[in-house]
Amino acid sequence: MTLLAVERIKLFSTRSPYWCSALALVLGVGLTAIIAASTDNGQLSLGVTQFGSSQLALSVVLVMAALAVTTEYRFSTIRATFLAVPNRTSALVAKTVVVAFIAAVLGEIIAFGSVGMAKLLSPASDLAINSGAEWRHVAGVGLLYGIGAILAIAVGILVRQTAGAVAILLVWNMLLEGLIGIIPKAGVKIQAWLPFQNANHFLMLNGPEAAGAEQAGMGIDFKLSQWGSLGYFAGIAVALLVVALIVAKRRDA
């Protein structure tokens, strides 16, 4: 518990968590507000309310998580941390738990805040959360952000430089996996096993049970169920973190 408290204090002693959280809220809830204001009252759907949270706000959260590690390497405070806690794995796992928890809470605030904003601006729209798929679509955002933070921290530990880690995460999430889909024939098959594509698959409101194995409009034939896709995404994040912890133990701080 002491390590968790220390990591929480260290995290909130910098400005990046505050700025990133504010930006994520603006992108997630703000984009929903713009869409709701420009849509005829009564025509807004629940799926549209999470438009900003699935990629834009997630990208900001990934950056926030990476910064939690790379800023320590940049200012060499990580050396003091490892001197105080010789077990590097414990220190880095504590940091991961704190950042992932904060990311998950922020995800829930953005998701339900977006629904609340949509209801406020479009009161005649049917935005009730009734089915399991609808709850997964909204409440699942927090799970996705928490797992994404774990992956981002792993990248930060491996790269150690802010610019490099942020560039990798943004290109990976927002560009690379989408571009792979343009590869003739094999592209969509590869996409079915990419981590962020599976993360988006988990959040989709109309999954295989409603639209068949091949997602309407995406052309990706996912082999896993939506919860299976979340487990796959989590598995990749944890595996990458394990590799990062091994590397961190073997090299100089």
Q: 168-198, pLDDT tens digit by residue?
A: 999 999 999 999 989 988 889 999 999 999 9
Q: What is the pLDDT of residue 214?
A: 37
Q: 11-40, pLDDT tens digit by residue?
A: 888 899 999 999 999 999 999 999 999 988
| DSSP H/E element including 93 | helix 88-121
- Are the CB atoms for 146 and 64 separated by under 8 Å? no
Can you give the residue ranges of every domain in the chain?
2-178
Q: Which residues of the chain have pLDDT under 50?
A: 207-217
- Are the CB atoms for 233 and 199 separated by under 8 Å? yes
User: Residue 114 corresponds to which tokens in the numbers above?
Assistant: 């977006």
Q: What is the pLDDT of residue 55?
A: 82
pTM of the model as a whole: 0.92
Q: What is the pLDDT of residue 253?
A: 64
- Are the CB atoms for 69 and 166 separated by under 8 Å? no
Q: What is the pLDDT of residue 252?
A: 76
